Amino acid sequence: MKKRIAVFASGTGSNTINIINYFSEHPSIEVSCVLSNNKSAPVLKSASDLGIISYYFDKKMIEDENGKVSEILDEIQPDIIVLAGFLWKFPSHLIQKHTNIINIHPALLPKYGGKGMYGANVHRAVLDNKEKESGITIHRVNPIYDDGTIIFQERLQITPEDTIESLQQKIHALEHEHFPKVIEQLLEENTH
């Protein structure tokens, strides 16, 4: 029986697609489904094209303890839930029920976390504060935005030439390189 990953995403889903591709030939781990709170998110079609079951849900479906999202997760029984560019706060009832939930953040937490701190907003704040470095943080999810235990961080130097776009590209490259490996490591640790 393969270990199952459920991925939540809100947008284009470059991290999600990267994770799907990384595990597509994996002997013991698979991406079981992709869920999005955005009906027109490109990630839904991309995942579907790669043969992954994709679901759209609205606020009520995720916040209701017996709603569609709970039903899907009960059916799939994921070994890990991965938030990959998922912009809503994850409901407490799901955090209590599923203890293995991780998120990726495009900065070095605890700095530049919290409500509204995603995508270009994060990179703009980092550059506005003349930071010398930024990076990625992979952390456990708890009921507070970007507050869970840090599992992994990778740093990069910011150059004077960096713009929001160039920093975003560098951060994406780090995410794509490390996120699937960290997921794999977490799932393989749980098997021994």
Query: Catalytic site residues?
Result: 105
Sign of the dihedral through C-alpha 86, 91, 93, 96: positive
CA-to-CA dists, residue 147 to 87, 104, 109, angstroms: 15, 12, 8
Asked if 122 and 107 touch (Cβ cutoff 8 Å), the reply is: yes
Q: Could you count the other beta carbons within 10 Å of the beta carbon of residue 50?
A: 15
How many residues belong to the chain?
Answer: 192
